[in-house]
């Protein structure tokens, strides 16, 4: 029934999604880092579980999908039970892609998760400490060569991802395993987000700007066109960052930044203003 859908026209086919890590070792890691303010439930192997249901519900409300809203408004135990039915082996780590259509039907794509330092899943203590967690760190963050117009399909994570894929292709990213991310920029020249991550930069107005040990972190506001993100919500709730408009012209080649998503957690990166050739 078309009454369950909303504009743009792509919404007749689009589905809302959220990606996250299932890891049986996550509860023990949460217990190991109690000062990180990790949200309840602490005993769940689903990373930032509550935030994923919340972001999906916000998308369903904005798309005006009553059946999806009804499913997502049920308690967290019901949501967990639905996810559990898709896990093939609870002793292993998995990368999950939750997909919900306008009828409130849930499908979960499950793939083996790469070995990853679970300390990355928590609020970073410092840039230097995080760099030591993986040989792939720091990543490079490059700026897209074209501008992206904010829309409902950038405000929420959906199956309509051509604009993200195109940005990755333009800077030569060929695999999700590449330690490179591309920064999307809106038509006003404001940083939006990475193609698969939220971005965090040092606060420009801070007296400590450039002081690596006292960095004050900021992330673009949703008004710049980026999407609601589980890891972003976690970072904001824990006071790791504040929202501030970031103009791409303010970025400095070689400056430190952080990236985050709900599969890898928080990733240290270096801004690279030289476009990568494909």
Question: By percentage, how much of the chain surpasses pLDDT 70?
Answer: 90
| pTM (2 d.p.) | 0.91
Mutual orientation of helices 49-63 and 230-237 as an angle, nearest 10°?
Answer: 120
CB 109 within 8 A of CB 83: no
Question: By percentage, how much of the chain surpasses pLDDT 90?
Answer: 85
The β-bridge relationship of strands 241-243 and 217-219 is parallel
Confidence of residue 3 (pLDDT cuts 50, 70, 90): very low
pLDDT over 50 (residue 249)? yes
What is the average per-residue pLDDT within 122-139?
95
DSSP letter assigned to residue 33: -
Write out the residue limits of the CATH 3.20.10.10 domain(s) in the chain. 121-272
Confidence of residue 36 (pLDDT cuts 50, 70, 90): confident
pLDDT over 90 (residue 236)? yes
Q: Top-level CATH class of 2-118?
A: alpha beta
The residue among 192, 24, 9 whose CA lies nearest residue 94 is 24
What is the average per-residue pLDDT within 47-54?
98
Write out the residue limits of the CATH 3.30.470.10 domain(s) in the chain. 2-118
Confidence of residue 124 (pLDDT cuts 50, 70, 90): very high
Specify the range with the lowest mean pLDDT, choosing from 39-48, 114-123, 268-277.
268-277
Q: Which CATH number fits domain 121-272: 2.40.70.10, 3.40.50.970, 3.30.56.10, 3.20.10.10?
A: 3.20.10.10
């Amino acid at each position: 029934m078309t009454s369950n859908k909303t504009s743009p026209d792509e919404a007749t086919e689009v589905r809302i999604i959220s990606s996250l890590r299932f890891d049986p070792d996550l509860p023990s890691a949460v217990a190991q880092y109690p000062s990180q303010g990790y949200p309840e439930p602490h005993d769940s192997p689903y990373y930032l579980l509550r935030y994923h249901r919340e972001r999906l519900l916000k998308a369903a409300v904005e798309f005006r999908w009553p059946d999806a809203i009804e499913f997502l408004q049920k308690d967290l135990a019901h949501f967990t039970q639905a996810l559990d039915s898709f896990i093939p082996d609870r002793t292993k780590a998995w990368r999950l892609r939750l997909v919900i259509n306008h009828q409130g039907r849930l499908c979960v794509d499950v793939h083996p998760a790469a070995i990853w330092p679970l300390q990355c899943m928590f609020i970073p203590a410092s840039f230097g400490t995080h760099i030591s967690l993986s040989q792939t760190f720091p990543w490079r963050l490059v700026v897209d060569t074209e501008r992206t117009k904010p829309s409902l399909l950038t405000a929420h994570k959906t199956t309509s991802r051509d604009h993200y894929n195109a940005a990755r292709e333009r800077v030569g990213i060929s695999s999700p395993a590449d330690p490179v991310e591309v920064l999307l920029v809106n038509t006003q020249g404001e940083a939006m987000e990475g193609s698969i991550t939220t971005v965090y930069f040092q606060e420009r107005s801070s007296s400590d700007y450039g002081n690596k040990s006292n960095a004050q972190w900021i992330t673009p506001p949703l008004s710049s066109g980026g999407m609601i993100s589980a890891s972003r919500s976690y970072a904001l709730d824990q006071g790791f960052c504040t929202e501030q408009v970031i103009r791409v012209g303010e970025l400095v080649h070689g400056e430190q930044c952080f990236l985050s998503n709900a599969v890898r957690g928080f990733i240290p990166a270096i801004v690279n203003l030289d476009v990568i050739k494909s």
